[in-house]
Amino acid sequence: MFAAERQAMIVEMLQRNGSVQVDALARELGVSAMTIRRDLVKLKEDNKIERCHGGAVAKHEEIYADKQISHQGAKQKLARVCALLVSEGDTVFLDAGTTTYEVAKLIKDVKGILVVTNDLEIAQLLKNSEAELFICGGSIQKSTGSMFGRYATQMLADFKFDIGFFGAASVNEEFEVTTPTSEKMWLKRNTPKQCEKAYLVVDKSKFGRQAMTKINHLWDYTGVVTDKEFDDKERERLKERNTVIIGVE
């Protein structure tokens, strides 16, 4: 068994069980405890797990309250740029997240818009606004207030949006957008394809990080709204892929 395959199995076990012990992994995978420890070091370096005494625990998403105060000033700046992209009468998809929550605050009084979201906090904000509101169902991740899974994805499958705004937990060095929650992947991967214009909205803290599950790439969006400053090499790579970066200072 290749190391990458073994490490993928370890992450899968963590997602299923929450935690694993080195000795149990060694027996399950038929390798030495030293090999398992090397695997755990690599997974920790890739930001896919958290280490604990004698083993590892699953990498969980931040709870909503922590996300809300993290880099709040940057999120508000990004949201102001996004709000300028919304027009009267648009059908808007807002992905679950605290950055898109800031977008919701700024567009809630735009005339004639319909907002579709999988975020309970955004829905709560908009329920007394002028915006028409549609919320998709599905499993609820209580720590973040987001809805995901097969039912949520199926419910959105027939929708078409004028514009959509999407968040992300992390963007790695290959410009892959990733999430620590594998069940969210399908909704986050498919819904941008249903938007006439789809924007990824991420502050600079999300870059250079790796989560377990790949969603897509930066160039799979109409544009990326971010305050990250790319170096010359990064800009060249993005240019080759015709990636549109909307910079925010």
Hey, what domains does the chain have and what are their CATH numbers? 3-58 (1.10.10.10), 65-247 (3.40.50.1360)
What is the pLDDT, as a whole number, of residue 71?
A: 64
Task: Quote the pLDDT of residue 16.
Answer: 66
**Do residues 247 and 216 touch, judged by C-beta distance below 8 A?**
no
55: amino acid identity, one letter: G
- pLDDT for the residue numbered 63: 46
Q: What is the pLDDT of residue 147?
A: 84
Crossing angle of helices 22-29 and 3-17, in 10° steps, is 120
The pLDDT assigned to 66 comes to 47
Angle at 235 between CA 210 and CA 225, to 5 degrees: 65
What's the confidence (pLDDT) of residue 64? 46
Residue 61 has what pLDDT? 52
Is residue 49 within 8 A of residue 40, CB to CB? The reply is: yes
3-state secondary structure of 160: coil
| Burial class of residue 174, CB neighbours in 10 A (0-12, 13-18, 19+) | exposed
- pLDDT confidence of residue 65: 45
Across the chain, which has 249 residues, the per-10-residue mean pLDDT values are: 85 73 90 92 81 73 48 88 97 95 95 96 93 89 79 89 95 90 85 97 90 90 97 96 93
What torsion, rounded to 10 degrees, do the Cα atoms 229, 234, 236, 239 define? -70
